[in-house]
């Protein structure tokens, strides 16, 4: 059994924060909040032996991990109440330049909320401690997000997030300290 590490809680809150800075409606923020919480639900279909592996994954194991967005979308397709969450769950690993998965969607073809969650998800991965490295320092994270603007990330969403990191870092810090 996996222990909760706060990843999805933080991804949810970072996504809502970006949404607020984008001026989204309360309804949209609610969808983002729940979508962030559920974004990795498809990992239930990936064996713990792969999810918890600390050594480098084989190509086959990595392919199995890459199934989680589609598995998650299938899980949520069982009830109409989840329908707005499906695009977020299914497409949060797409990249703006079309090199992501599972559908290799490009640019604005990637659902808007999934583009927001993609930024939050990567940020949390970079700022969380891994078995093989410490959390990355803020200046490295900022240059990495800047470098990936337009390739991995929607440039406008990346800019909004960079602005939060540079000018409203207390809002990020508050989320980070909440789930430790
Ligand atoms: Fe994921």
**CATH H-level superfamily of 7-39+83-178:** Hypothetical protein af1432 (1.10.3210.10)
Digit-coded pLDDT (tens) for 137-174:
999 999 999 999 999 999 999 999 999 999 999 999 99
How close is the Cα of 68 to the center of ligand 1, in Å? 7
Banded model confidence at residue 2, pLDDT cuts 50, 70, 90: low
Domain spans of the chain, in order of start = 7-39+83-178
- Taking the whole predicted model, whether its pTM rises above 0.85 is answered as yes
Average pLDDT, the chain: 95
How close is the Cα of 66 to the center of ligand 1, in Å? 8
Digit-coded pLDDT (tens) for 25-54:
999 999 999 999 999 999 999 999 999 898
Find the farthest-apart pair of alpha carbons in the chain and give their distance in angstroms, rounded.
43
Helix axis angle, 7-21 to 112-127, nearest 10°: 130
């Amino acid at each position: 059994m996996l222990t909760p590490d706060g990843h999805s809680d933080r991804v949810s809150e970072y996504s809502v924060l970006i949404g607020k800075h984008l001026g989204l409606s309360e309804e949209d923020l609610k969808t983002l909040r729940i979508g962030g919480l559920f974004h990795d639900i498809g990992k239930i279909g990936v064996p713990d032996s792969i999810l918890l592996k600390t050594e480098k994954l084989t190509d086959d194991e990595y392919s199995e991990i890459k199934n989680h967005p589609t598995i998650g979308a299938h899980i949520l397709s069982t009830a109409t109440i989840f329908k707005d969450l499906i695009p977020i769950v299914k497409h949060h690993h797409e990249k703006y330049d079309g090199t992501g998965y599972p559908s290799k969607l490009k640019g604005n073809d990637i659902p808007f909320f999934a583009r927001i969650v993609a930024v939050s998800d990567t940020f949390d991965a970079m700022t969380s401690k891994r078995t093989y490295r410490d959390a990355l320092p803020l200046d490295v994270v900022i240059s990495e997000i800047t470098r990936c603007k337009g390739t991995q990330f929607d440039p406008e969403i990346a800019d909004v997030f960079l602005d939060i990191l540079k000018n409203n870092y207390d809002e990020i810090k508050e989320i980070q300290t909440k789930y430790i």
